[in-house]
Amino acid sequence: MQEQEKISLSGNIWRMVQTDESWCARVAQAYEVPPYIAQILAGRHIAYDDVSAFLQPKIKDLMPDPYVLKDMEKAAKRTAEAVINGEKIAVIGDYDVDGATSTAELRRFFRAVGIEPIVHIPSREEGYGPNDLAFAEFKQSGVKLVITIDCGTTAFEPLNKATQDGFEIIVLDHHEAEAVLPEVYAVINPKRLDETNPYQYLEYMSAVGVGFMFLVAVNRLLRQQGFYKTHSEPPLMNWLDLVALGTVCDVVPLLGLNRAYVKQGLKVMASQQNLGLKNLMRIAKMETAPRAYHLGFVLGPRINACGRVGDANLGSRLLSTEDENEAKELAIKFDSFNGERKEIENFVLLEAIEQVEKEAQEYPMAFAYGDNWHQGVIGIVAGKLRERYNMPAFVMSIEPDEVKGSARSVDGLDLGMLIISAKEHGVIKGGGGHTMAAGFSLTTEQIPAFKEFVGEYVLKHLGNDKIVPILNIDCAVSLSAVNVGFAANLAMLEPFGTGNPEPQILLQNVQIIKPAIIGSGHVRCLLTSPSGATISAIAFRSADNEIGQALLNNHGDVYDVVGYIKLDEWQGRQKVQMIINDIMRK
């Protein structure tokens, strides 16, 4: 095996991202950035002319006219008409963070223009998306115009029936679409198969991002028609904190317009204008300005928990409330739900691991199911199985009336297309999703056929070889070059997330000194080089794995270390720290 194909202590193959040196030199000079920043930009395939928009993304530069999306104009006109006429409007959303944020932005907008919308978030027992129960509620309330958001593109039966019953339905969605669309008034979805807009990055939007474009279109019409001569114009830009939260938590690429949404949304969130988010940040003990990390790993899980083990409506309520007391009470509930979710998740995860490892798997995937596994955690469990085995994972809960499932993928396998194909072959009842995540439903009797179908699909697209994960390294630097200025320059590339991961920095030929276990199994140490340069480092949750044991039991060995370089701020002082992701013995 060649040297570059050596396996690290975490079981990864390390590969340095290949870049064009002349391109990097041009970018470094033209945009006045350090060479290593230019190298990282090259590795992310950022076009020369797009560097400025990447480093300083602005919504006004990246959002096209909303009418570029099919059905946007007719949907905006119908909604503006409803607002002017004071019609009743209903909204159907989803119970995850994208659903909570997108329904909250619609609720805030309609409230601001004088309409209190009826918002229905189906519980997990009801199932995902529009259903007859919701439309029966709307009919009784005298609603005619219904907006579905973060759902609806493949909800043919309930939406076609509702249309026949006289409802006018606007679908705002971003999930994979089929060739046929529901028989509704309008379907706005950048993933429509007949979509022709020239802005490819619009396909990356989460539902809350699609919803924001829709509100921009409606708001413009109301302004043009003189509505705001007698009404206050809604502060759309103040709701970008919701757009940022939903965008990060739905794990869509932080490129193009999404990048601008999150960059600006983080600034809005820092001002704590949203009472629900302010109280959630407080109870989560967020003491620094929010970053994409906080959205994905601190705030998002708490909001998701209420949809998983609590009341599905609470997320939307928290994010749209104007009552300080309600915001405080809900934030406390969310924290409690998050603790409960963790306990349930651990139980189901252990059972799933035992099932997967009990016998040899016929296909290169993790496939597990159990009686009454909590539906609210099967998606998280699928994600953890995917991480543990580096294979696609499918986890199902067998309920009395049907089986609910969730899946998480690896590079090279499009789950959205897999689920559409499974529906076409009749091996599941329904479902949908994205490239990397999907949900589905089936009967107990269908499980064997579904397992075979999925297994053969995975074999066809990924092959049967053991999947050895690749850790892509963005750049290698000497330990002496890693200082406060270096870390500050890396921050130019934020926000980090899908499509723009935090840079993996390689430090070569370092030694480990003063290792110690701290907290819940974290290993802290110092990294030092022959030149005498030293920085602090930490490997999270590593005390019982290969990395942690190597750090704790080293005897002056020399290592190459890969990880993130962070600015550690404490009491007004800044120092550099490395978050260790992997190591390799020299």
**Cis (ω within 30 of 0) for the bond into 301?**
no
103 and 120, same structural domain? Answer: yes
Kindly report, residue by residue over 500-522, the tens digit of the pLDDT: 999 999 999 999 999 999 998 99
CATH code: domain of residue 531 = 2.40.50.140
The DSSP H or E segment spanning 501 is none
CATH code: domain of residue 371 = 3.10.310.30
Average pLDDT over residues 307-334: 89
418 and 318, same structural domain? Answer: no
Residues 6+ apart with CB under 8 A from 337: 302, 305, 306, 308, 309, 310
The torsion angles phi and psi of 52, rounded to 5 degrees, stand at: -60, -45
User: Quick one: pLDDT at residue 3?
Assistant: 45
Answer yes or no: is pLDDT of 564 > 60. yes
The torsion angles phi and psi of 384, rounded to 5 degrees, stand at: -75, -35
Average pLDDT over residues 490-501: 92
User: Quick one: pLDDT at residue 208?
Assistant: 98
Range 487-520 burial, b when 16+ CB lie within 10 A, else e: beebeebbbbbbbbebbbbbbbebbbeebeeeee
Answer yes or no: is pLDDT of 290 > 90. yes
Task: Of 31-40, 302-311, 574-583, give the lowest mean pLDDT range.
Answer: 302-311
Task: Of 95-99, 302-306, 308-312, 414-418, give the lowest mean pLDDT range.
Answer: 308-312
Average pLDDT over residues 144-148: 98
User: Quick one: pLDDT at residue 191?
Assistant: 95
Answer yes or no: is pLDDT of 2 > 50. no
Which position has the higher pLDDT, 482 or 310? 482
Answer yes or no: is pLDDT of 271 > 60. yes
Answer yes or no: is pLDDT of 1 > 70. no
Residues 6+ apart with CB under 8 A from 89: 79, 82, 110, 115, 117, 118, 143, 145, 146, 147
Structure tokens at 245: 């939260």
Crossing angle of the two packed helices 207-224 and 257-270, in degrees rounded to 10: 80
User: Quick one: pLDDT at residue 11?
Assistant: 84
* Percent helix, strand and coil across the chain, each to the nearest 5: 45, 20, 35
Q: Which residue has the tokens 């600006």?
A: 264
CA neighbours within 13 Å on the CB side: how many for 465?
Answer: 4
Q: How far is CA 131 from CA 161, 461, 528, in A?
A: 10, 34, 61
pLDDT band, residue 127 (cuts 50/70/90): confident
pLDDT band, residue 568 (cuts 50/70/90): confident
Kindly report, residue by residue over 43-61, the tens digit of the pLDDT: 999 999 999 999 999 999 9
Q: How many domains does the chain divide into?
A: 4
Answer yes or no: is pLDDT of 85 > 80. yes
Domain assignment present for 305: yes
Domain assignment present for 469: no
Q: Which of 427, 462, 497 is the last residue in one of the domains?
A: 462
Answer yes or no: is pLDDT of 571 > 80. no
User: Quick one: pLDDT at residue 310?
Assistant: 67
428 and 302, same structural domain? Answer: no
Average pLDDT over residues 510-535: 93
User: Quick one: pLDDT at residue 466?
Assistant: 60
71 and 13, same structural domain? Answer: no
- pLDDT above 90 coverage of the chain, percent: 76
327 and 279, same structural domain? Answer: yes
- Rounded mean pLDDT of the chain? 92
The sign one gets for the Cα dihedral 318, 176, 345, 471 is negative
69 and 38, same structural domain? Answer: no
Answer yes or no: is pLDDT of 444 > 60. yes
Q: Which of 296, 317, 333 is the last residue in one of the domains?
A: 333
User: Quick one: pLDDT at residue 552?
Assistant: 94
pLDDT band, residue 467 (cuts 50/70/90): low
Domain assignment present for 352: no
- pLDDT above 70 coverage of the chain, percent: 97
User: Quick one: pLDDT at residue 442?
Assistant: 95
Kindly report, residue by residue over 356-380, the tens digit of the pLDDT: 998 877 889 999 999 979 888 898 8
Q: Which domain holds residue 294?
A: 60-333
| Whether this model's pTM surpasses 0.75 | yes
Domain assignment present for 341: no
Range 118-146 burial, b when 16+ CB lie within 10 A, else e: bbbbbebebbbbbbeebbeebeeeebebb
515 and 416, same structural domain? Answer: no
What SS3 state is found at 230?
Answer: coil
138 and 150, same structural domain? Answer: yes
Chain-centre distance for alpha carbon 77: 31
95 and 23, same structural domain? Answer: no
Answer yes or no: is pLDDT of 76 > 90. yes
Kindly report, residue by residue over 86-124, the tens digit of the pLDDT: 999 999 998 889 999 999 999 999 999 999 999 999 887
Answer yes or no: is pLDDT of 307 > 80. no
Kindly report, residue by residue over 225-240, the tens digit of the pLDDT: 999 999 999 999 999 9
323 and 418, same structural domain? Answer: no
**Cβ contact 495:39 at 8 Å:** no
CA distance 195 to 72: 12
Domain assignment present for 350: no
User: Quick one: pLDDT at residue 481?
Assistant: 93
Domain assignment present for 197: yes
Average pLDDT over residues 256-264: 96
Q: Return the DSSP state at 215.
A: H
CA neighbours within 13 Å on the CB side: how many for 384?
Answer: 17
Closest to 91 measured CA to CA, from 70, 122, 128: 122
431 and 308, same structural domain? Answer: no
Average pLDDT over residues 143-151: 97
78 and 39, same structural domain? Answer: no
CATH code: domain of residue 267 = 3.90.1640.30
Task: Of 59-73, 139-153, 221-235, 406-420, give the lowest mean pLDDT range.
Answer: 406-420
Domain assignment present for 320: yes
CA distance 114 to 70: 28
User: Quick one: pLDDT at residue 400?
Assistant: 84
Domain assignment present for 534: yes
